[in-house]
Amino acid sequence: MTLEFVVAQGCGLAVLVLAILTPQFKKMAVVALMETLINLLTAAQYFLLAEKVGAFTSVSATLYCLLIFLADRYLVRARKPCRAVLTGLYLISYVVIVVGGFAHFYDLLPLATAALFALSLVQKQVLGYNVCTVVKSFVNISYQCFTGAYSLILAQSFVLLSSIVAIARKLREKNKGRTN
């Protein structure tokens, strides 16, 4: 085991903690900030594992999260068109990164992850974010199995579980509100 491998798995464990917490937040602004940090740490892990496609897509996702947060915070009136432009640019960057770094068939999986991630981050409510995150987790786990990002497999498994718990909790709260 190399030092890079050990540090990479440490980044993945930090992602694990943050990723478990993120679906439980109630405001999309907090979710966007948490996703920024998660993607930054994920990029570090993939760089350390010499997985260019995963690393560059995570850098792109980091910038996307940060820009979505800033647009929501400071461009209130122009938020919808700004989100649409940012989402389009983000998805185009993913296509460029994947095509530029394509080496294995599994390098196509980040495209599906990117689309699901973009869709999750532009949801108005956290419940929609959580539903998208469940599907995205399955795709991420597949990619991580191929790339050797073992601690991220663990992290995504907990994200999946946390998202399912959050969905159940939010639906229960919603139904409780209807019956009262």
Q: In this model, does residue 109 exceed pLDDT 80?
A: yes
- What tokens were used for 157? 């498994």
Q: Is 45:12 a contact under the CB 8 Å cutoff?
A: yes
Q: Distance between alpha carbon 21 and the CA centroid of its chain, in Å?
A: 13
Q: What is the mean pLDDT of the chain?
A: 85
pLDDT at 131 over 90: yes
* Angle 174-31-26 from CA coordinates, rounded to 5°: 25
**Per-residue pLDDT tens over the stretch 9-49:** 899 889 888 988 888 888 888 888 999 999 999 999 989 98
Backbone angles phi, psi at 20, to 5 degrees: -70, -40
CA distance 136 to 90: 16
Mean pLDDT value across residues 125-134: 91
Quote the pLDDT of residue 175.
87
- Say which residues have a Cβ less than 8 Å from residue 163's Cβ, sequence separation at least 6: 23, 130, 131, 133, 134, 137
Q: Coil, strand or helix: which one is 132?
A: helix
Taking a C-beta distance cutoff of 8 angstroms, is the pair 28, 65 a contact?
no
CA distance between the termini of the chain: 57
Q: Tens digits of per-residue pLDDT, 44-89?
A: 998 998 887 778 878 888 998 898 888 888 887 777 788 888 888 8
In this prediction, residue 149 carries a pLDDT of 76
**pLDDT-based confidence at residue 132 (cuts at 50, 70, 90):** very high
pTM here? 0.76
**Which of 16, 1, 6, 11 has its CA nearest to residue 45?**
11
C-alpha distance from residue 110 to each of 57, 119, 121, 156, 175 (Å): 7, 14, 16, 14, 35
pLDDT higher than threshold 70 for residue 180: no
With tokens 């663990």, the residue in question is 154
118 pLDDT above the threshold of 80: yes
The share of the chain scoring above pLDDT 90, in percent, equals 22
**Any residues with CB less than 8 A from the CB of 83 and at least 6 apart, and which?**
68, 71, 72, 122
Rounded mean pLDDT, 117-145:
89
